[in-house]
Amino acid sequence: MILARWRARRASLILVDELRAEIAAAARRPALYEALKAPDRMDVRFELLTLHAGLVLRRLVSAGGLGHDLAQDLVNSLFMHFEDTLRERGMSDIAVSKRLKAMREAFYGRSAAYAVALDSKSPAELEAAVARNVYGARQGRAPMAGSLAVYVCAIDAALAAVPLDTFLAGRFRYPEGPIS
């Protein structure tokens, strides 16, 4: 019984790690930085990871049941990775704790803003959120924000069509989106 639980938990951790790797690879796609002109900085990498992870979490939570459990495991894995990265950069325990708190607030705030914009089907609202968060535009306008918003809508639609079983079986591949 204990061995069976251990194997199931180990399989779940492997699945979550694979899912996190897919999200990270999608957030690092060269076209995001080249064609869509996302600045190649640490803060923007966090923003793009948050954006891509938030879209997957949105899909998993909407599936309910095991999707919700997988979403929670994914969030835990993401933040353990963030913590490891901060510690590798030589930050103290107190600094890591403060930085993680700020990252957590940013992660959930951004994910909520993107979800509201996607649910309202408001391209202008999504474009403003992307411009503010990814491009750092104070007035909510950035030249490539509209193109990134189109990409986000396409990814969200593609993820909505992915069955929960695909995630649970470890066959998930992050969809490609239009980049112009």
Per-residue pLDDT tens digits for 67-105 = 888 999 999 999 999 999 999 999 999 999 999 999 999
Amino acid code (one letter) for 19: L
Closest CA to 74 of 134, 12, 117, 29: 12
Counting beta carbons within 10 angstroms of the beta carbon of residue 134, is it exposed (0 to 12), middle (13 to 18) or buried (19 or more)?
Answer: buried
Counting beta carbons within 10 angstroms of the beta carbon of residue 2, is it exposed (0 to 12), middle (13 to 18) or buried (19 or more)?
Answer: exposed
Helix, strand, or coil (residue 94): helix
Residues 6+ apart with CB under 8 A from 110: 47, 50, 51, 54, 129, 133
H/E run at residue 164: helix 164-168
**DSSP secondary structure string, 62-84?**
HH-THHHHHHHHHHHHHHHHHHH
pLDDT digits (tens, 9 = 90+) for 119-168: 999 889 999 999 999 998 876 568 899 999 999 999 999 999 999 999 98
Task: Output the average pLDDT for the chain.
Answer: 90
Contact 129, 136 (CB under 8 A): no
pTM: 0.90
Contact 75, 69 (CB under 8 A): no
